[in-house]
Chains A and B, each alone.
Chain A
Amino acid sequence: MIYSEKVMEHFGNPHNVGVIEDADGIGEVGNPVCGDVMKITIKVDDDRIDDIKFQTLGCGAAIATSSIVTDMAKGMTLAEAVAITKNQVAEELGGLPPAKMHCSVLATDGLKVAVDDYLVKRGREPIAGEIKSSDPHFDPHEDDDEDHTH
Protein backbone atom coordinates (compact mmCIF):
# COMPACT_ATOMS: atom_id res chain seq x y z
CA MET A 1 0.00 0.00 0.00
CA ILE A 2 1.57 3.24 -1.14
CA TYR A 3 0.13 6.73 -0.75
CA SER A 4 0.28 9.29 -3.55
CA GLU A 5 2.51 12.33 -3.14
CA LYS A 6 -0.57 14.51 -2.75
CA VAL A 7 -1.83 12.36 0.13
CA MET A 8 1.54 12.62 1.85
CA GLU A 9 1.59 16.40 1.29
CA HIS A 10 -1.82 16.86 2.91
CA PHE A 11 -1.00 14.38 5.68
CA GLY A 12 2.31 16.08 6.49
CA ASN A 13 0.94 19.62 6.29
CA PRO A 14 -2.82 19.44 6.56
CA HIS A 15 -4.83 22.56 5.69
CA ASN A 16 -7.62 24.07 7.81
CA VAL A 17 -6.79 22.22 11.04
CA GLY A 18 -8.62 23.36 14.16
CA VAL A 19 -12.03 24.28 15.50
CA ILE A 20 -14.13 27.35 14.69
CA GLU A 21 -15.25 28.42 18.15
CA ASP A 22 -18.49 30.17 17.10
CA ALA A 23 -19.26 27.67 14.34
CA ASP A 24 -22.61 27.78 12.49
CA GLY A 25 -22.54 24.05 11.83
CA ILE A 26 -20.76 21.09 13.42
CA GLY A 27 -20.31 17.62 11.92
CA GLU A 28 -18.85 14.74 13.95
CA VAL A 29 -18.57 11.30 12.37
CA GLY A 30 -16.79 8.00 12.99
CA ASN A 31 -15.90 6.39 16.28
CA PRO A 32 -12.68 5.55 18.11
CA VAL A 33 -13.33 1.79 18.02
CA CYS A 34 -12.96 1.97 14.23
CA GLY A 35 -9.93 4.19 14.66
CA ASP A 36 -11.36 7.13 12.71
CA VAL A 37 -13.08 10.19 14.17
CA MET A 38 -13.61 13.46 12.32
CA LYS A 39 -15.07 16.77 13.40
CA ILE A 40 -15.80 19.58 10.91
CA THR A 41 -16.87 23.08 11.93
CA ILE A 42 -18.17 25.61 9.39
CA LYS A 43 -19.05 29.30 9.16
CA VAL A 44 -21.77 30.01 6.64
CA ASP A 45 -22.43 33.31 4.87
CA ASP A 46 -25.29 33.65 2.37
CA ASP A 47 -25.51 29.85 2.02
CA ARG A 48 -21.82 29.63 1.16
CA ILE A 49 -19.11 28.02 3.28
CA ASP A 50 -17.15 31.01 4.43
CA ASP A 51 -14.75 29.19 6.73
CA ILE A 52 -14.14 25.55 7.57
CA LYS A 53 -11.87 23.69 9.97
CA PHE A 54 -11.37 20.07 10.92
CA GLN A 55 -9.96 17.81 13.61
CA THR A 56 -9.32 14.16 12.81
CA LEU A 57 -8.14 11.12 14.74
CA GLY A 58 -7.11 8.62 12.13
CA CYS A 59 -4.59 7.27 9.69
CA GLY A 60 -2.70 9.12 6.97
CA ALA A 61 -5.56 8.83 4.51
CA ALA A 62 -8.13 10.02 7.07
CA ILE A 63 -6.11 13.16 7.76
CA ALA A 64 -5.37 13.81 4.07
CA THR A 65 -9.01 13.37 2.99
CA SER A 66 -10.14 15.68 5.81
CA SER A 67 -7.64 18.30 4.67
CA ILE A 68 -8.55 18.13 0.97
CA VAL A 69 -12.30 18.11 1.57
CA THR A 70 -12.05 21.31 3.60
CA ASP A 71 -10.01 22.91 0.77
CA MET A 72 -12.62 21.81 -1.77
CA ALA A 73 -15.62 22.96 0.27
CA LYS A 74 -14.31 26.39 1.20
CA GLY A 75 -16.27 28.98 -0.86
CA MET A 76 -18.79 26.45 -2.16
CA THR A 77 -22.55 26.82 -1.76
CA LEU A 78 -24.08 24.42 0.75
CA ALA A 79 -25.70 22.48 -2.10
CA GLU A 80 -22.34 22.15 -3.87
CA ALA A 81 -20.58 21.09 -0.69
CA VAL A 82 -22.95 18.23 0.12
CA ALA A 83 -22.66 17.01 -3.48
CA ILE A 84 -18.91 16.31 -3.15
CA THR A 85 -18.45 12.56 -3.62
CA LYS A 86 -15.89 10.21 -2.12
CA ASN A 87 -14.51 9.59 -5.59
CA GLN A 88 -13.96 13.31 -6.17
CA VAL A 89 -12.08 13.48 -2.89
CA ALA A 90 -9.92 10.52 -3.88
CA GLU A 91 -9.27 11.99 -7.34
CA GLU A 92 -8.22 15.33 -5.86
CA LEU A 93 -5.64 13.43 -3.83
CA GLY A 94 -4.27 11.61 -6.85
CA GLY A 95 -5.97 8.38 -5.81
CA LEU A 96 -6.29 6.38 -2.60
CA PRO A 97 -5.37 2.75 -1.93
CA PRO A 98 -8.56 0.62 -2.13
CA ALA A 99 -8.45 -0.23 1.58
CA LYS A 100 -8.49 3.51 2.33
CA MET A 101 -11.47 4.55 0.24
CA HIS A 102 -13.68 4.59 3.34
CA CYS A 103 -11.62 7.50 4.67
CA SER A 104 -12.99 9.68 1.87
CA VAL A 105 -16.52 8.63 2.89
CA LEU A 106 -15.76 9.82 6.41
CA ALA A 107 -14.61 13.19 5.05
CA THR A 108 -17.64 13.79 2.82
CA ASP A 109 -19.96 12.57 5.59
CA GLY A 110 -18.42 14.96 8.10
CA LEU A 111 -19.10 17.83 5.72
CA LYS A 112 -22.69 16.71 5.08
CA VAL A 113 -23.44 16.46 8.79
CA ALA A 114 -22.01 19.94 9.39
CA VAL A 115 -24.14 21.45 6.59
CA ASP A 116 -27.33 19.77 7.83
CA ASP A 117 -26.54 20.80 11.39
CA TYR A 118 -26.42 24.42 10.19
CA LEU A 119 -29.68 24.11 8.28
CA VAL A 120 -31.60 22.31 11.04
CA LYS A 121 -30.40 24.82 13.64
CA ARG A 122 -32.01 27.53 11.51
CA GLY A 123 -35.27 25.63 11.17
CA ARG A 124 -34.60 24.66 7.55
CA GLU A 125 -34.84 21.30 5.82
CA PRO A 126 -31.67 19.14 5.77
CA ILE A 127 -30.28 18.57 2.25
CA ALA A 128 -27.39 16.15 2.65
CA GLY A 129 -29.28 12.87 2.42
CA GLU A 130 -27.75 9.58 3.41
CA ILE A 131 -24.86 9.58 5.89
CA LYS A 132 -23.18 6.27 5.23
CA SER A 133 -20.64 6.23 8.03
CA SER A 134 -23.24 6.72 10.79
CA ASP A 135 -24.98 3.50 9.78
CA PRO A 136 -23.89 0.79 12.23
CA HIS A 137 -23.90 -1.69 9.34
CA PHE A 138 -21.73 0.54 7.14
CA ASP A 139 -19.03 -1.60 5.60
CA PRO A 140 -16.13 0.64 4.68
CA HIS A 141 -14.71 -2.01 2.38
CA GLU A 142 -17.91 -2.45 0.39
CA ASP A 143 -16.76 -0.30 -2.50
CA ASP A 144 -13.21 -1.55 -2.63
CA ASP A 145 -13.69 -3.01 -6.08
CA GLU A 146 -13.18 0.45 -7.53
CA ASP A 147 -9.53 0.96 -8.13
CA HIS A 148 -8.19 4.39 -7.31
CA THR A 149 -4.61 3.44 -6.79
CA HIS A 150 -3.08 5.09 -9.82
Chain B
Amino acid sequence: MEHKAYLDYAATTPTDQRVVDAILPFFTERYGNANSLYALGRDAARALEDARERVAASIGARPDEVIFTSGGTESDNTAIIGLATAGGRATGHVIVSAFEHHAVLEPAWWLGKHGFDVTELKPRTDGIVHPEDLAAALRDDTVLVSVMHGNNEIGTLQPVRELAAAAHARGALFHTDAAQTLGKADFDVTELGIDAASFSGHKIYGPKGTGALFLKKGVRMAPYLMGGGQESKRRSGTQNVAGNVGFATALEIMDAERPTEAPRLAALRDHLVERLLGEIHYARLNAVDAATRLPHIANFVIPGVEGEAMLLHLDAAGIAVSTGSACSSGSLKPSHVLLSIGCPVEFAHGSLRVSTGRFTTEADVDYLVEKLVPIVERLRSMNPLYEKTVAELVGAKG
Protein backbone atom coordinates (compact mmCIF):
# COMPACT_ATOMS: atom_id res chain seq x y z
CA MET B 1 0.00 0.00 0.00
CA GLU B 2 1.11 3.52 -0.74
CA HIS B 3 2.49 5.64 2.09
CA LYS B 4 -0.07 7.83 3.82
CA ALA B 5 0.86 11.01 5.63
CA TYR B 6 -1.46 12.94 7.93
CA LEU B 7 0.04 16.43 8.16
CA ASP B 8 -2.92 18.43 9.43
CA TYR B 9 -2.53 18.11 13.22
CA ALA B 10 -3.49 21.76 13.65
CA ALA B 11 -6.94 20.82 12.28
CA THR B 12 -7.37 17.88 14.59
CA THR B 13 -5.49 14.94 16.09
CA PRO B 14 -6.27 11.26 16.47
CA THR B 15 -7.36 10.43 20.01
CA ASP B 16 -4.47 8.82 21.82
CA GLN B 17 -5.15 5.18 22.75
CA ARG B 18 -4.20 5.96 26.37
CA VAL B 19 -6.90 8.62 26.38
CA VAL B 20 -9.46 6.24 24.88
CA ASP B 21 -8.63 3.68 27.58
CA ALA B 22 -9.15 6.28 30.30
CA ILE B 23 -12.50 7.35 28.86
CA LEU B 24 -14.21 4.06 28.10
CA PRO B 25 -15.37 3.09 31.63
CA PHE B 26 -17.38 6.31 31.81
CA PHE B 27 -19.72 5.22 29.04
CA THR B 28 -21.02 1.91 30.33
CA GLU B 29 -19.92 1.48 33.96
CA ARG B 30 -19.26 4.86 35.58
CA TYR B 31 -22.07 6.59 33.73
CA GLY B 32 -23.55 8.59 36.64
CA ASN B 33 -24.58 12.23 36.43
CA ALA B 34 -21.95 14.18 38.35
CA ASN B 35 -24.74 16.22 39.94
CA SER B 36 -26.59 13.25 41.46
CA LEU B 37 -26.28 12.59 45.17
CA TYR B 38 -26.17 8.79 45.21
CA ALA B 39 -22.99 6.70 44.89
CA LEU B 40 -22.95 6.48 41.11
CA GLY B 41 -23.26 10.26 40.85
CA ARG B 42 -20.61 10.85 43.52
CA ASP B 43 -18.25 8.59 41.64
CA ALA B 44 -18.76 10.65 38.47
CA ALA B 45 -18.36 13.89 40.45
CA ARG B 46 -15.07 12.66 41.89
CA ALA B 47 -13.78 11.79 38.42
CA LEU B 48 -14.89 15.19 37.13
CA GLU B 49 -13.24 17.10 39.98
CA ASP B 50 -10.11 15.02 39.62
CA ALA B 51 -10.01 15.94 35.92
CA ARG B 52 -10.49 19.60 36.84
CA GLU B 53 -7.60 19.48 39.31
CA ARG B 54 -5.34 17.90 36.72
CA VAL B 55 -6.15 20.58 34.14
CA ALA B 56 -5.72 23.32 36.75
CA ALA B 57 -2.34 21.92 37.79
CA SER B 58 -1.16 21.90 34.19
CA ILE B 59 -1.99 25.57 33.57
CA GLY B 60 -1.07 26.90 37.01
CA ALA B 61 -4.66 27.71 37.99
CA ARG B 62 -6.93 26.90 40.91
CA PRO B 63 -9.42 24.10 40.21
CA ASP B 64 -12.36 26.48 40.64
CA GLU B 65 -10.91 28.62 37.84
CA VAL B 66 -11.42 25.81 35.30
CA ILE B 67 -14.77 25.62 33.53
CA PHE B 68 -15.30 22.58 31.32
CA THR B 69 -16.89 23.39 27.96
CA SER B 70 -17.52 21.68 24.63
CA GLY B 71 -14.27 23.02 23.17
CA GLY B 72 -12.44 26.01 21.79
CA THR B 73 -15.38 27.63 20.03
CA GLU B 74 -17.65 27.54 23.06
CA SER B 75 -14.87 28.80 25.33
CA ASP B 76 -14.08 31.68 22.96
CA ASN B 77 -17.74 32.64 22.47
CA THR B 78 -18.40 32.49 26.20
CA ALA B 79 -15.35 34.56 27.08
CA ILE B 80 -15.81 37.29 24.47
CA ILE B 81 -19.52 37.83 24.98
CA GLY B 82 -19.63 36.88 28.67
CA LEU B 83 -16.75 39.15 29.73
CA ALA B 84 -17.88 42.12 27.63
CA THR B 85 -21.49 41.96 28.84
CA ALA B 86 -20.77 40.99 32.47
CA GLY B 87 -22.95 42.78 34.98
CA GLY B 88 -25.35 43.90 32.26
CA ARG B 89 -22.82 46.10 30.45
CA ALA B 90 -24.17 47.10 27.02
CA THR B 91 -21.48 49.45 25.69
CA GLY B 92 -17.70 49.71 25.67
CA HIS B 93 -14.66 49.11 23.52
CA VAL B 94 -13.37 45.64 22.65
CA ILE B 95 -10.06 44.86 20.91
CA VAL B 96 -9.39 41.58 19.13
CA SER B 97 -6.46 40.86 16.87
CA ALA B 98 -7.28 40.70 13.17
CA PHE B 99 -5.97 37.16 12.80
CA GLU B 100 -8.02 35.54 15.54
CA HIS B 101 -9.91 32.34 14.85
CA HIS B 102 -13.48 33.03 13.74
CA ALA B 103 -14.64 31.65 17.10
CA VAL B 104 -13.32 34.95 18.52
CA LEU B 105 -13.97 37.24 15.52
CA GLU B 106 -17.63 36.31 15.09
CA PRO B 107 -18.69 37.02 18.70
CA ALA B 108 -16.63 40.23 18.57
CA TRP B 109 -18.53 41.28 15.43
CA TRP B 110 -21.75 40.31 17.19
CA LEU B 111 -20.82 42.67 20.04
CA GLY B 112 -20.14 45.34 17.41
CA LYS B 113 -23.72 45.01 16.21
CA HIS B 114 -25.09 45.17 19.75
CA GLY B 115 -23.75 48.41 21.19
CA PHE B 116 -20.01 47.78 21.52
CA ASP B 117 -17.21 49.41 19.60
CA VAL B 118 -14.81 46.82 18.17
CA THR B 119 -11.23 47.31 16.99
CA GLU B 120 -9.46 44.65 14.97
CA LEU B 121 -5.81 45.07 15.78
CA LYS B 122 -3.45 44.07 12.99
CA PRO B 123 -0.41 41.94 13.59
CA ARG B 124 2.78 43.09 11.86
CA THR B 125 4.25 41.25 8.88
CA ASP B 126 6.28 39.07 11.24
CA GLY B 127 2.98 37.51 12.35
CA ILE B 128 3.20 39.02 15.82
CA VAL B 129 0.84 41.42 17.59
CA HIS B 130 3.25 43.91 19.11
CA PRO B 131 2.47 45.20 22.63
CA GLU B 132 3.18 48.81 21.65
CA ASP B 133 0.55 48.52 18.89
CA LEU B 134 -1.94 47.28 21.45
CA ALA B 135 -1.02 50.10 23.83
CA ALA B 136 -1.80 52.59 21.06
CA ALA B 137 -5.19 50.99 20.36
CA LEU B 138 -6.33 50.87 23.99
CA ARG B 139 -8.82 53.48 25.17
CA ASP B 140 -10.24 54.55 28.50
CA ASP B 141 -13.43 52.65 27.70
CA THR B 142 -11.71 49.44 26.53
CA VAL B 143 -13.26 46.60 28.52
CA LEU B 144 -11.75 43.54 26.88
CA VAL B 145 -8.75 42.55 24.76
CA SER B 146 -8.40 39.15 23.10
CA VAL B 147 -5.21 38.04 21.36
CA MET B 148 -4.54 34.40 20.64
CA HIS B 149 -1.55 32.67 22.21
CA GLY B 150 -0.45 30.90 19.03
CA ASN B 151 -1.81 31.43 15.55
CA ASN B 152 -3.42 28.32 14.08
CA GLU B 153 -2.46 29.04 10.47
CA ILE B 154 1.05 30.48 10.62
CA GLY B 155 2.14 29.15 14.02
CA THR B 156 3.49 32.39 15.44
CA LEU B 157 3.53 32.68 19.25
CA GLN B 158 2.26 35.95 20.66
CA PRO B 159 3.85 37.90 23.54
CA VAL B 160 0.79 37.28 25.71
CA ARG B 161 2.38 38.32 29.01
CA GLU B 162 3.31 41.76 27.66
CA LEU B 163 -0.02 42.14 25.85
CA ALA B 164 -1.97 41.26 29.02
CA ALA B 165 0.11 43.76 31.00
CA ALA B 166 -0.64 46.48 28.44
CA ALA B 167 -4.38 45.73 28.65
CA HIS B 168 -4.34 45.76 32.45
CA ALA B 169 -2.46 49.05 32.51
CA ARG B 170 -5.56 50.61 30.94
CA GLY B 171 -8.06 48.67 33.04
CA ALA B 172 -9.14 46.16 30.38
CA LEU B 173 -9.53 42.40 30.83
CA PHE B 174 -7.36 40.08 28.77
CA HIS B 175 -8.44 36.80 27.15
CA THR B 176 -6.29 34.51 25.04
CA ASP B 177 -7.32 31.68 22.73
CA ALA B 178 -4.83 28.92 23.52
CA ALA B 179 -6.53 26.16 21.53
CA GLN B 180 -3.49 25.73 19.32
CA THR B 181 -0.82 26.07 22.01
CA LEU B 182 -2.01 24.22 25.12
CA GLY B 183 0.34 21.32 25.74
CA LYS B 184 2.64 22.44 22.93
CA ALA B 185 4.20 25.53 24.48
CA ASP B 186 4.65 26.59 28.11
CA PHE B 187 1.37 27.90 29.40
CA ASP B 188 0.94 29.16 32.96
CA VAL B 189 -1.93 31.52 33.65
CA THR B 190 -0.20 33.17 36.60
CA GLU B 191 3.01 33.78 34.74
CA LEU B 192 1.10 35.12 31.73
CA GLY B 193 -1.12 37.26 33.97
CA ILE B 194 -4.28 36.65 31.96
CA ASP B 195 -7.92 36.79 33.01
CA ALA B 196 -9.33 34.12 30.72
CA ALA B 197 -8.10 31.49 28.26
CA SER B 198 -9.72 29.00 25.89
CA PHE B 199 -8.62 25.39 25.38
CA SER B 200 -9.57 22.56 23.07
CA GLY B 201 -9.28 18.81 23.70
CA HIS B 202 -9.12 17.49 20.16
CA LYS B 203 -6.00 19.49 19.30
CA ILE B 204 -4.05 17.55 21.94
CA TYR B 205 -5.07 13.93 21.19
CA GLY B 206 -8.19 14.21 23.35
CA PRO B 207 -11.77 13.70 22.19
CA LYS B 208 -13.60 16.18 19.97
CA GLY B 209 -16.27 18.18 21.76
CA THR B 210 -14.13 18.74 24.85
CA GLY B 211 -12.21 21.68 26.23
CA ALA B 212 -12.17 24.27 28.97
CA LEU B 213 -12.25 27.93 29.78
CA PHE B 214 -9.92 29.35 32.39
CA LEU B 215 -11.55 32.22 34.24
CA LYS B 216 -9.52 34.00 36.92
CA LYS B 217 -11.15 33.99 40.31
CA GLY B 218 -13.08 37.18 40.94
CA VAL B 219 -13.52 38.07 37.26
CA ARG B 220 -17.18 38.55 36.42
CA MET B 221 -18.59 36.80 33.37
CA ALA B 222 -22.15 36.43 32.12
CA PRO B 223 -22.88 32.75 31.44
CA TYR B 224 -23.47 31.73 27.86
CA LEU B 225 -25.30 28.48 28.53
CA MET B 226 -27.99 28.79 31.18
CA GLY B 227 -29.92 26.07 32.89
CA GLY B 228 -29.16 23.74 35.77
CA GLY B 229 -26.32 25.84 37.13
CA GLN B 230 -23.50 23.35 36.65
CA GLU B 231 -19.86 24.51 36.64
CA SER B 232 -20.64 27.02 39.43
CA LYS B 233 -23.42 28.55 37.30
CA ARG B 234 -20.95 29.54 34.62
CA ARG B 235 -21.76 26.74 32.17
CA SER B 236 -25.01 24.88 32.55
CA GLY B 237 -25.54 21.42 31.13
CA THR B 238 -24.73 17.97 32.47
CA GLN B 239 -20.96 17.68 32.42
CA ASN B 240 -19.28 15.46 29.85
CA VAL B 241 -17.44 13.38 32.44
CA ALA B 242 -15.93 10.96 29.93
CA GLY B 243 -14.80 13.82 27.69
CA ASN B 244 -13.38 15.87 30.54
CA VAL B 245 -11.46 12.87 31.88
CA GLY B 246 -10.16 12.38 28.35
CA PHE B 247 -9.17 16.04 28.05
CA ALA B 248 -7.29 15.97 31.38
CA THR B 249 -5.55 12.70 30.46
CA ALA B 250 -4.56 14.07 27.07
CA LEU B 251 -3.14 17.22 28.64
CA GLU B 252 -1.07 15.23 31.15
CA ILE B 253 0.43 13.18 28.32
CA MET B 254 1.26 16.39 26.42
CA ASP B 255 2.99 17.83 29.48
CA ALA B 256 4.93 14.64 30.19
CA GLU B 257 6.15 14.28 26.62
CA ARG B 258 6.75 17.93 25.75
CA PRO B 259 10.42 18.07 26.82
CA THR B 260 11.28 15.56 24.08
CA GLU B 261 8.37 16.10 21.69
CA ALA B 262 8.72 19.88 21.20
CA PRO B 263 12.36 19.73 20.05
CA ARG B 264 11.59 16.68 17.88
CA LEU B 265 8.77 18.56 16.11
CA ALA B 266 10.85 21.72 15.79
CA ALA B 267 13.60 19.70 14.09
CA LEU B 268 11.05 18.07 11.77
CA ARG B 269 9.67 21.50 10.87
CA ASP B 270 13.13 22.89 10.17
CA HIS B 271 13.85 19.84 7.99
CA LEU B 272 10.60 20.40 6.10
CA VAL B 273 11.24 24.13 5.62
CA GLU B 274 14.76 23.50 4.35
CA ARG B 275 13.72 20.77 1.91
CA LEU B 276 10.58 22.48 0.61
CA LEU B 277 12.24 25.86 0.08
CA GLY B 278 15.22 24.10 -1.47
CA GLU B 279 13.22 22.01 -3.92
CA ILE B 280 10.34 24.29 -4.92
CA HIS B 281 11.35 27.45 -6.74
CA TYR B 282 10.03 30.73 -5.34
CA ALA B 283 8.35 29.02 -2.36
CA ARG B 284 8.59 30.93 0.87
CA LEU B 285 7.72 30.54 4.52
CA ASN B 286 5.00 32.85 5.81
CA ALA B 287 5.83 35.02 8.85
CA VAL B 288 9.46 34.04 8.39
CA ASP B 289 10.64 36.87 10.66
CA ALA B 290 8.64 35.78 13.71
CA ALA B 291 10.78 35.81 16.84
CA THR B 292 8.71 33.06 18.46
CA ARG B 293 6.79 30.24 16.83
CA LEU B 294 5.12 26.93 17.60
CA PRO B 295 7.14 23.83 16.75
CA HIS B 296 4.43 22.03 14.77
CA ILE B 297 3.13 24.51 12.18
CA ALA B 298 4.75 25.74 8.95
CA ASN B 299 2.84 27.81 6.41
CA PHE B 300 4.18 28.29 2.90
CA VAL B 301 3.28 30.37 -0.12
CA ILE B 302 3.84 28.55 -3.38
CA PRO B 303 3.47 31.18 -6.11
CA GLY B 304 1.83 30.15 -9.37
CA VAL B 305 -0.42 27.43 -7.96
CA GLU B 306 -3.86 27.45 -6.41
CA GLY B 307 -4.14 25.86 -2.99
CA GLU B 308 -7.19 23.67 -3.44
CA ALA B 309 -5.81 22.07 -6.60
CA MET B 310 -2.55 21.37 -4.76
CA LEU B 311 -4.45 19.92 -1.80
CA LEU B 312 -6.57 17.61 -3.99
CA HIS B 313 -3.52 16.23 -5.80
CA LEU B 314 -1.78 15.64 -2.46
CA ASP B 315 -4.91 13.92 -1.18
CA ALA B 316 -4.77 11.57 -4.16
CA ALA B 317 -1.26 10.65 -2.95
CA GLY B 318 -2.58 9.96 0.55
CA ILE B 319 -1.37 13.23 2.09
CA ALA B 320 -3.59 15.46 4.26
CA VAL B 321 -2.64 19.14 4.54
CA SER B 322 -4.58 22.40 4.47
CA THR B 323 -4.59 25.63 2.50
CA GLY B 324 -5.73 29.20 2.95
CA SER B 325 -7.05 29.51 -0.59
CA ALA B 326 -10.50 31.02 -1.05
CA CYS B 327 -11.66 28.00 -3.00
CA SER B 328 -11.10 25.70 -0.07
CA SER B 329 -13.26 27.82 2.19
CA GLY B 330 -16.20 28.37 -0.15
CA SER B 331 -15.79 32.12 0.20
CA LEU B 332 -14.24 34.55 -2.23
CA LYS B 333 -11.47 35.76 0.02
CA PRO B 334 -8.42 33.76 0.91
CA SER B 335 -7.20 33.34 4.50
CA HIS B 336 -7.80 36.43 6.67
CA VAL B 337 -4.71 35.43 8.64
CA LEU B 338 -2.39 35.63 5.63
CA LEU B 339 -3.98 38.87 4.43
CA SER B 340 -3.57 40.38 7.92
CA ILE B 341 0.21 39.88 7.79
CA GLY B 342 0.46 41.50 4.37
CA CYS B 343 0.57 38.42 2.16
CA PRO B 344 -0.60 39.46 -1.35
CA VAL B 345 -4.03 38.04 -2.24
CA GLU B 346 -2.82 36.11 -5.27
CA PHE B 347 -0.17 34.37 -3.16
CA ALA B 348 -2.57 33.64 -0.31
CA HIS B 349 -4.57 31.54 -2.80
CA GLY B 350 -1.48 29.35 -3.11
CA SER B 351 -0.76 28.79 0.56
CA LEU B 352 -0.02 25.45 2.15
CA ARG B 353 -0.17 24.73 5.88
CA VAL B 354 1.71 21.70 7.12
CA SER B 355 1.21 20.76 10.77
CA THR B 356 2.90 17.83 12.42
CA GLY B 357 2.30 15.86 15.59
CA ARG B 358 2.85 12.83 17.76
CA PHE B 359 2.80 10.27 14.98
CA THR B 360 4.63 12.26 12.29
CA THR B 361 7.95 10.88 11.14
CA GLU B 362 10.69 12.31 8.96
CA ALA B 363 9.56 9.83 6.29
CA ASP B 364 6.13 11.56 6.23
CA VAL B 365 7.71 14.96 5.71
CA ASP B 366 10.04 13.64 3.00
CA TYR B 367 7.12 11.89 1.31
CA LEU B 368 5.21 15.20 1.22
CA VAL B 369 8.08 17.03 -0.46
CA GLU B 370 8.63 14.19 -2.96
CA LYS B 371 4.98 14.23 -4.00
CA LEU B 372 4.63 18.00 -3.88
CA VAL B 373 7.47 18.81 -6.28
CA PRO B 374 5.89 17.22 -9.40
CA ILE B 375 2.40 18.44 -8.41
CA VAL B 376 3.63 22.04 -8.26
CA GLU B 377 5.47 21.61 -11.56
CA ARG B 378 2.36 20.25 -13.22
CA LEU B 379 0.03 22.95 -11.88
CA ARG B 380 2.48 25.67 -12.84
CA SER B 381 2.69 24.25 -16.37
CA MET B 382 -1.10 24.62 -16.58
CA ASN B 383 -1.04 28.21 -15.29
CA PRO B 384 -1.39 30.68 -18.18
CA LEU B 385 0.20 33.45 -16.10
CA TYR B 386 3.10 31.52 -14.63
CA GLU B 387 5.84 33.15 -16.70
CA LYS B 388 4.47 36.56 -15.83
CA THR B 389 4.34 35.64 -12.13
CA VAL B 390 7.96 34.49 -12.22
CA ALA B 391 9.05 37.65 -14.01
CA GLU B 392 7.36 39.70 -11.29
CA LEU B 393 8.94 37.65 -8.51
CA VAL B 394 12.39 37.89 -10.02
CA GLY B 395 11.88 41.61 -10.72
CA ALA B 396 10.78 42.20 -7.12
CA LYS B 397 13.93 40.55 -5.82
CA GLY B 398 16.31 42.51 -8.06
Contact = CB atoms under 8 A, between A and B. Distances in A.
Contacts of A75: none
B83 interface: no
Contacts of A32: 346, 349, 385, 389
Interface residues of A, number: 30
A59 B327 contact: yes
Interface residues of B, number: 27
A34 B384 contact: no
Contacts, number: 72
Nearest to A3: B312
Interface string B136-176: 00000000000000000000000000000000000000000
Contacts of B332: 34, 140-141
Interface stretch (A35-43, A77-85, A87-95): A35-43
A118 interface: no
Contact of B384 (A11, A56, A140): A56
B396 to A, nearest CB: 15
Interface in A25-76: 28, 32-39, 55-63
B308 A28 contact: no
Given A33-B346, A140-B332, A60 B384 contact: no
A129 interface: no
B326 interface: yes
B325 interface: yes
Contact of A60 (B312, B334, B345, B346): B312
Contacts of A12: 313, 316
Given A58-B327, A60-B308, A141-B332, A37 B385 contact: yes
B383 A35 contact: no
Contacts of B312: 8, 11, 60
Contact of B383 (A33, A55, A59): A55
A17 interface: yes
B309 interface: yes
A60 B309 contact: yes
A117 to B, nearest CB: 14
A35 B346 contact: yes
Interface of B: 304-309, 312-313, 316, 325-328, 330-332, 334, 345-346, 349, 379, 382-386, 389
17 contacts: A12-B313, A12-B316, A32-B346, A33-B345, A35-B334, A35-B349, A37-B385, A39-B384, A55-B382, A55-B384, A57-B386, A59-B307, A59-B327, A59-B328, A62-B327, A63-B309, A100-B327
